[in-house]
């Protein structure tokens, strides 16, 4: 076996004895979708779906355009070992992005009977999953929004406390 050595490290994460692994639970695939070239509407492009943390190497990768399965223009690579026990795999979809279209890469693990979905496209922001085009901007705006919201709550609590004369 030889993998038992992971369990004993409790000092790092406080009281929980989680295995020190950068991956989530082995065998639950992690998917990301990103364009291979800078995106311009109505210009042909290739979407790349990177699936990591695959174990065992038995997953089906399918693409959907606005929740309709797409088979045309899809290519898959073989499984690539990633240094630990898991594998990675790429899938490519030739697309011509148009406004309002959402693409999703659906990864189904045959053994676990579970699916992982990564979204990309115009409406990807309001679904679970990254919206590659705007992730950086959205992330910054969201982080700022959260900070401002927290500050607002703190100030409201402070004002409420002082009104009560506490």
Map out the domains of the chain as residue ranges: 24-130, 131-166
Tell me the chain's radius of gyration from C-alpha atoms.
21
pLDDT on residue 2: 46
pLDDT, tens digit (0-9, with 9 covering 90-100), for 120-162? 986 444 444 444 444 455 556 666 777 777 888 888 888 888 8
pLDDT on residue 140: 62
Residue 110 region by backbone torsions, left for phi larger than 0, else alpha for psi between -120 and 50, else beta: alpha
For residue 48, name the pLDDT band (cuts at 50, 70, 90): very high
- pTM of the prediction? 0.59
User: What's the CATH class of domain 24-130?
Assistant: mainly beta
pLDDT, tens digit (0-9, with 9 covering 90-100), for 81-96? 988 889 999 999 999 9
Q: Report the side by side order of strands in the sheet with 102-109.
A: 68-70, 59-65, 102-109, 114-121
């Amino acid at each position: 076996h030889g993998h038992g050595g992971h369990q004993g490290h409790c000092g790092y994460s406080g009281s929980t004895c989680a295995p020190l692994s950068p991956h989530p639970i082995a065998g639950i695939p992690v998917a990301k979708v990103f364009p291979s070239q800078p995106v311009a509407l109505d210009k042909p492009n290739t979407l790349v779906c990177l699936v990591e943390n695959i174990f065992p190497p038995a997953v089906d990768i399918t693409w959907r355009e606005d929740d309709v399965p797409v088979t045309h223009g899809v290519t898959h690579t073989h499984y690539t070992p990633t240094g630990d026990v898991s594998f990675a795999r790429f899938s490519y979809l030739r697309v011509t992005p148009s406004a309002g279209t959402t693409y999703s890469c659906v990864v189904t693990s045959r053994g676990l009977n579970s699916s992982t979905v990564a979204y990309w496209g115009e409406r990807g922001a309001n679904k679970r999953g990254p919206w590659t085009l705007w992730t950086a901007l959205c992330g910054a705006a969201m982080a700022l929004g959260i900070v401002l919201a927290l500050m607002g709550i703190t100030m409201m609590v402070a004002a409420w406390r002082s009104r009560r004369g506490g």
